[in-house]
Homo-oligomer: A and B are copies of this chain.
Amino acid sequence: MTNREVGIALLGVGTVGGAVARTIAEQRDVIEARSGIRLVVRRAMARSTERVVQAGLPVEVATTKIEEVIGDDGVDVVVEAMGGEEPAATYMRLALESGKHVVTANKEALSKHFAGLVATARSSGRALLFEASVGGGIPLMASLRQILAVNRITRIRGIVNGTTNYILTQMAERGATYAEALREAQQLGYAEPDPTADVEGYDAAYKLAILASLAAGRHIRPERVDRTGITGVTPEQVAEAGARGGAIKLIAGAELDAEGWRLRVGPEFVPGDHLLAHVRLNYNAMEITGDRVGPVVLYGQGAGPQPTASAIVSDIVDAVRFGAVLTPEIAPE
């Protein structure tokens, strides 16, 4: 098999972007052996050149201008690893319009602009892939795509935020208060200095909106999620749940009933005979229920640079091999 060279551009060379650069370098033999594709980072957009060099990339690929990325004919796939709604959403649109495939881990930009980005990808005949946006390295999108090909999905439910699950696990297993467990999570780098996005359930709501949109085939915005965080969970509630053989978990759930899709993120009691009760620390698990396959649960590391980069690089390979056919159909709201 002759190895085909594929040009990559990274938008953002922070934790995730840097891990993508290192994964491409360190797993080169695996990637080439499995797919016959040689990935070459041709552009890396970052505020400082230093970051680009720290990620092991040659200084020549560094740029601060989006025009130099989308105008480069040697770039086939743009990896958006900046995070946040803007300018990420605009850059993704520009990249698709200029004929690049786009791979993203950005749950906020995707959940807010899903229908528009998908429409741009489809009209440009390009792939828009986002395996890493929910559940890190867990093959959630690949699984969902397979199940959706044959099943009606009427229920998605699970743990999609590792930070809050880590905090709730420490409360349950060590009797820590919320404040103590949060502080420890921050020291370990599992929680941000400002933990609002995680502990108030925004992160989970973005992810849930993406999954529900895929199941519905229609854009469901994160604002529609009925959202409660974990800041009000007391050690007493956690202890009582444990005494009943179960656990309090931050559950993200979407369900289709006669009135349409209902989306909810909030702390819930999960009984001990359900797998979700046994998802500990910063792990994630999602249960997808199809009318033919029944409940399927996918579990793994929902965050972290290595699992996230693994999912991104796998998406790059899929974008090159299969192209636009993998872009889902998401109707406007």
Tell me whether B293 and A311 are in contact (CB under 8 A): yes
- With A and B bound together, what is the CA distance between A31 and B151 in angstroms? 8
Tell me whether A146 and B139 are in contact (CB under 8 A): yes
Say whether A235 faces chain B, with CB atoms less than 8 Å apart. no
B-facing residues in A260-315 (Cβ within 8 Å): 273, 275, 277-280, 285, 290, 292-301, 304, 306-307, 309-311, 313-314
- With A and B bound together, what is the CA distance between A72 and B69 in angstroms? 51
- With A and B bound together, what is the CA distance between A91 and B149 in angstroms? 27
Q: Which residues of B contact A277 (CB under 8 A)?
A: 278
| Copies in the assembly, this chain | 2
Tell me whether A295 and B306 are in contact (CB under 8 A): no
Say whether A23 faces chain B, with CB atoms less than 8 Å apart. yes
Min C-beta distance of A119 to chain B, whole Å: 15
**27 pairs, CB–CB < 8 Å, chain A vs chain B:** A23-B150, A27-B292, A31-B149, A33-B217, A136-B293, A137-B290, A137-B292, A137-B296, A138-B293, A138-B296, A139-B143, A150-B313, A150-B314, A151-B310, A273-B278, A273-B280, A275-B279, A275-B299, A277-B278, A293-B306, A293-B307, A293-B310, A294-B301, A294-B307, A295-B300, A296-B300, A322-B325
Q: If the complex has contacts A30-B151, A147-B139, are A293 and B299 also in contact, measured as CB distance less than 8 A?
A: no
Interface size on A, residues (CB 8 A): 54
A33-B217, A137-B290, A137-B294 given; 18 more Cβ-contact pairs under 8 Å: A27-B150, A27-B292, A30-B150, A30-B152, A31-B150, A142-B143, A143-B143, A146-B314, A146-B318, A147-B314, A149-B314, A150-B313, A275-B275, A294-B306, A295-B300, A295-B301, A296-B300, A321-B325
Min C-beta distance of A72 to chain B, whole Å: 24
Say whether A196 faces chain B, with CB atoms less than 8 Å apart. no
B-facing residues in A126-151 (Cβ within 8 Å): 131, 136-139, 142-143, 145-151
- With A and B bound together, what is the CA distance between A27 and B148 in angstroms? 11
Which of A139, A298, A318, A322: most chain B CB closer than 10 A? Answer: A139
Q: Which residues of B contact A30 (CB under 8 A)?
A: 149-152
Tell me whether A27 and B142 are in contact (CB under 8 A): no
- With A and B bound together, what is the CA distance between A149 and B30 in angstroms? 7
Partner of A148, one of B34, B275, B290: B34
Say whether A231 faces chain B, with CB atoms less than 8 Å apart. no
Residue ID in chain B nearest A310 by CB atoms: B292
- With A and B bound together, what is the CA distance between A134 and B227 in angstroms? 38
Say whether A317 faces chain B, with CB atoms less than 8 Å apart. yes
Q: Which residues of B contact A322 (CB under 8 A)?
A: 322, 325
